[in-house]
Structure 1
């Protein structure tokens, strides 16, 4: 049993207690945010903002630049998504409904994806860290999550497909990096994202309440 515990959590031996507490706090708020997203509740954004703000600090400290940029982007998109989800549209003054992506959304998603690939690559090169073994995968997951976050802010059902794909890649990636709690978080995210997709599919194009 001790060997299993050491394998999963041994990397925390040299971490400051404050950093461990902050990571667990960020994980809990992150899980809460995804659960709120699953249920299509506006609280996805305030809880997400707290989680991402903590992760920006931790990831900067841990020198994980791609992940730090992801969370900085999440923070900004959470503010934007909060606005979109509460905005009233149409003659009936309803909140923005869940819908499918149109051609314009797909073009923007493609632009975000490739722009993200280029941005993270330049960040790694500028900091002389492109030779890290996880840099390539980190760049890919960043691009996937950037698209997923934008689609979620626009309340597009396809956002869940990007979350599922990115989460599946992130589970072994974060474990390899030595962040077991965050790896477990992404495993749970994967399950929630599957249920989130199924739930949003039932609500597709229906007026919704964001409370």
Structure 2
């Protein structure tokens, strides 16, 4: 049995829901990565990269191209974010990431990119239904994840709120397509996101806007 076949095999069943190894391991790693992101640890990026690689195998097997493509983006953005945080010149005194609120222009750009991206990807999935069984929610989750991870790499507090908006659609989408563990973890993500948003908000109040750039985390 290959590693990919094993990852997409059933681990166990809970209340009638089949839990796959890839779904469980990938989302557990993603949960750890989110917690590390809250702590502004640079380890959030390699763990996110690993999570994305594992979850790609799960969603590709389930014919959810948007969710699978999202994981490709997770891997690429995780590598980029890792580089951003490592090379960042602006650091807090404790050597961790300096965080800030986005400007209104940046917020507008993020919202515009999310809206146009969702329309473009959703239209593609609608035109080619073999790519996704749920084209519009799948496109929304895909694009929303890209926007959220970009904001995270830039140290923007808004990235937490972007994740909440992604989870609002990601939870029912995961359960509807047989990824029960993903759905459960998305709910836990929601709690961590609220906690992380509050923590970053508090830290942003002590960060001067001119120095709120990427930094190297411990």
Q: Same fold judged by TM-score > 0.5?
A: yes
1:15 equivalent in structure 2: none
Write the deviation string for residues 74-118 of structure 1: whole angstroms up to 9, x where unpaired: 111111111111223259997652011124422431343134214
Q: How much has 1:61 moved relative to structure 2?
A: 1.7
Aligned residues: 198
Contact 1:89 1:95 in 2 (8 A): no
Partner of 1:17: none
For residue 170 of structure 1, report the CA deviation from its aligned partner.
1.5
Q: Which runs of 5+ in 2 are unaligned?
A: 1-12
8 Å Cα contact 1:26/1:54 also seen in 2: yes
1:167 and 2:171 equivalent?
A: no
Which deviates the most, 141-150 or 73-82? 141-150
How high is the TM-score relative to the length of structure 1? 0.82
Are residues 188 and 91 of structure 1, via their aligned partners in 2, closer, same or farther at CA, if it must alter by over 3 Å? closer
Q: Deviations over 1:21-71 (max 9, x none)?
A: 222211111111011011111111010000001111221121101111111
Which residue of structure 2 lines up, in the alignment, with residue 144 of structure 1? 144
Instruction: Classify the secondary structure of the residue corresponding to 1:89.
Output: coil
Distance in 1 separating the partners of 2:64 and 2:90: 43
**1:56·1:68 contact (CA, 8 Å) conserved in 2?**
yes
SS in 2 for 1:55: helix
User: Per-residue displacement from partner, 1:123-171 (whole Å, max 9, x unpaired)?
Assistant: 4135324894x32222223232221111011110000011112113222
CA contact (8 A) 2:31 2:189 kept: yes
Partner of 1:85: 85
Q: Which blocks of at least 5 consecutive residues in structure 1 are unaligned?
A: 13-19
In 2, Cα distance between equivalents of 1:90 and 1:31: 27
Distance 1:119 1:5, change over 3 A: same
Separation in 2, partners of 1:154, 1:69 = 22
The equivalent of 2:156 in structure 1 is 156
Deviations along 1:166-189, whole A, 9 cap, x unmatched? 113222221111111111110110
Range 81-90 or range 92-101, more displaced: 92-101
Contact 2:86–2:216, Cα closer than 8 Å, also in 1: no
Q: Are residues 37 and 189 of structure 1, via their aligned partners in 2, closer, same or farther at CA, if it must alter by over 3 Å?
A: same
Inter-partner Cα distance in structure 2 for 1:165 and 1:111: 15
8 Å CA contact 1:116–1:142 kept in 2: the answer is: no
2:198 match: 198
Give the structure with the larger helix fraction. 1
Contact 2:27 2:181 in 1 (8 A): yes
Task: Report how far residue 122 of structure 1 moved.
Answer: 4.1
